[in-house]
């Protein structure tokens, strides 16, 4: 039976670094408040010409290089993003054009912070079905473009960046399992309240818009849901907590990450944490964290990884991966 495996990883961060001290000059906040509530110390913000597909191209090229493959090998592209360059063409197709690839399927999906895990799950199924030999799976975001920079409750949380993996067929798993969920009843707790078919006229008229969030409620549901997700992932795959080498969580908030680690009885030394340096980069956060830990030598071939995520919708999901 064919499985898929991660053949290479890559990531990219825009060069502009914005520290908590920089934000103190923009809104009424403090480094101490941001660090103690979220763990975030700095984040990278994209330059005006850096769109989500631009960030994705850098990450994708690095992932291909680390897999020892080239753009000619790619036969499938799926991008998770909350911040597409355009309404259409989709960001997958725009990335495809940037890479100079033609004809293979390329598309984007929008499941907020769960975008990468959803994209990984989709690509895994195409590889396992024998239809795809080299899938490019990308999470990319320019969240700074949809944040209200006057709202201290949200603007301190987010950052820009991209991460990518290359999936290839393998006789051994690789991607052992993915578990995806969503529940639209929570849609009003965290959202960007305008879109092409809803309120677009207000955007055109220049009504100020940004991500809106009921932070406390999001926090509580996230902790509860991720706890259930960890139980489900372990039980359905017959895995004990102590078999997991690394937790690679979505990087939204250090306290949410810590609660997932507690659930697994996992010391923080076994958790990949990049939220201090990246902020919440939504769909880009897990592949960014993964690539960081692969490149600094913590994550090694053969180790068992648990990735878990939670985001707007709400959507949530996990991936159990033998790296």
Task: Please report, as ranges, the residues that interact with ligand ACO according to CB under 6 A.
Answer: 29, 33-34, 37-38, 113, 152-153, 156-157, 190, 213, 215-216, 218-219, 222, 250, 252-253, 280, 310-311
**Cα–Cα nearest to 320, from 230, 256, 190, 255:** 230
**Active-site residue, 104 included:** no
Structure tokens at 274: 């990049």
Torsion of CA 100, 106, 108, 114, to 10 degrees: -100
Name the minimum Å distance from CB 77 to ligand ACO.
24
Q: Which listed residue (20, 90, 253, 280) is catalytic?
A: 280
Q: Which listed residue (3, 44, 58, 113) is catalytic?
A: 113
**Cα–Cα nearest to 162, from 4, 316, 291:** 291
What is the C-alpha separation between 158 and 23, in angstroms, rounded?
12
Name the minimum Å distance from CB 70 to ligand ACO.
34
Q: Which residue is nearest to ligand ACO (CB)?
A: 215
Name the minimum Å distance from CB 322 to ligand ACO.
26
Task: Indicate the residue among 28 and 269 with the shorter CB distance to ligand ACO.
Answer: 28
Mark out the alpha helices in 28-146 (DSSP H runs). 31-38, 52-67, 91-99, 115-128
- Please give the full DSSP string across 212-273, using - where no structure is assigned: EE-HHHHHHHHHHHHHHHHHHHHHHHT--GGG--EEEE--S-HHHHHHHHHHTT--GGGB--
Task: Indicate the residue among 194 and 219 with the shorter CB distance to ligand ACO.
Answer: 219
Task: Indicate the residue among 89 and 215 with the shorter CB distance to ligand ACO.
Answer: 215
* 24 within 8 A of 71, measured Cβ to Cβ: no
**Active-site residue, 113 included:** yes
What is the C-alpha separation between 111 and 315, in angstroms, rounded?
6
Name the minimum Å distance from CB 34 to ligand ACO.
6
Task: Indicate the residue among 253 and 318 with the shorter CB distance to ligand ACO.
Answer: 253
Q: Which residues contact 20 (CB under 8 A, 6 or more apart)?
A: 29, 30, 31, 34, 35, 40, 41, 42, 156
Task: Indicate the residue among 61 and 263 with the shorter CB distance to ligand ACO.
Answer: 263
Residue 103's Cβ-side half-sphere holds a number of Cα atoms within 13 Å equal to: 4
Structure tokens at 9: 């990883």
Task: Indicate the residue among 105 and 215 with the shorter CB distance to ligand ACO.
Answer: 215
**Active-site residue, 20 included:** no
Name the minimum Å distance from CB 138 to ligand ACO.
18
Q: Which listed residue (3, 58, 250, 278) is catalytic?
A: 250
Task: Indicate the residue among 107 and 219 with the shorter CB distance to ligand ACO.
Answer: 219
Q: Is the dihedral of CA 229, 233, 238, 241 positive or negative?
A: negative
Name the minimum Å distance from CB 252 to ligand ACO.
3
What is the C-alpha separation between 191 and 214, in angstroms, rounded?
10
Rounded CA Rg of the chain:
18
Name the minimum Å distance from CB 152 to ligand ACO.
4
Q: Supply the residues annotated as catalytic.
A: 113, 250, 280
């Amino acid at each position: 039976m064919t499985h898929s495996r991660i053949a290479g990883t890559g990531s990219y961060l825009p060069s502009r670094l914005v520290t908590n001290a920089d934000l103190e000059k923009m809104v009424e906040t403090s480094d101490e408040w941001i660090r103690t509530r979220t763990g975030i110390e700095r984040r990278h913000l994209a330059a005006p010409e850096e769109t989500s597909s631009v960030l994705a191209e850098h990450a994708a090229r690095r992932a291909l290089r680390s897999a020892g493959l080239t753009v000619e090998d790619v036969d499938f592209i799926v991008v998770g993003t909350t911040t597409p360059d355009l309404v259409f063409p989709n960001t997958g197709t725009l990335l495809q054009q940037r890479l100079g690839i033609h004809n293979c399927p390329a598309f984007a999906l929008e499941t907020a912070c769960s975008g990468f895990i959803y994209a990984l799950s989709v690509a895994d199924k195409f590889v396992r079905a024998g239809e795809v030999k080299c899938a490019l799976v990308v999470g990319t975001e320019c969240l700074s473009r949809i944040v209200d920079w006057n709202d201290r409750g949200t603007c301190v949380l987010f950052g820009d960046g991209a991460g990518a993996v290359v999936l290839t067929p393998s006789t051994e798993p690789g991607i052992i399992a993915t578990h995806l969920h969503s529940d639209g009843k929570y849609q009003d707790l965290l959202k960007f309240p305008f879109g092409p078919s809803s309120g677009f006229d207000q955007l055109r008229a220049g009504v100020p818009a940004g991500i809106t969030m009921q932070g406390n409620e999001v926090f509580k549901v996230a902790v509860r849901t991720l706890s259930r997700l960890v139980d489900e992932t372990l039980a359905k795959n017959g895995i004990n907590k102590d078999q997991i080498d690394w937790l690679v969580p979505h990087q939204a908030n250090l306290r949410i990450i810590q609660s997932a680690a507690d659930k697994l009885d996992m010391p923080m030394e076994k958790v990949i944490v990049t939220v201090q340096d990246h902020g919440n980069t939504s769909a880009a956060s897990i592949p960014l964290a993964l690539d960081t830990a692969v490149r600094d030598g913590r994550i090694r071939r053969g180790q068992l990884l648990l990735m878990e995520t939670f985001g707007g919708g709400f959507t949530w999901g996990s991936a159990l991966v033998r790296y």
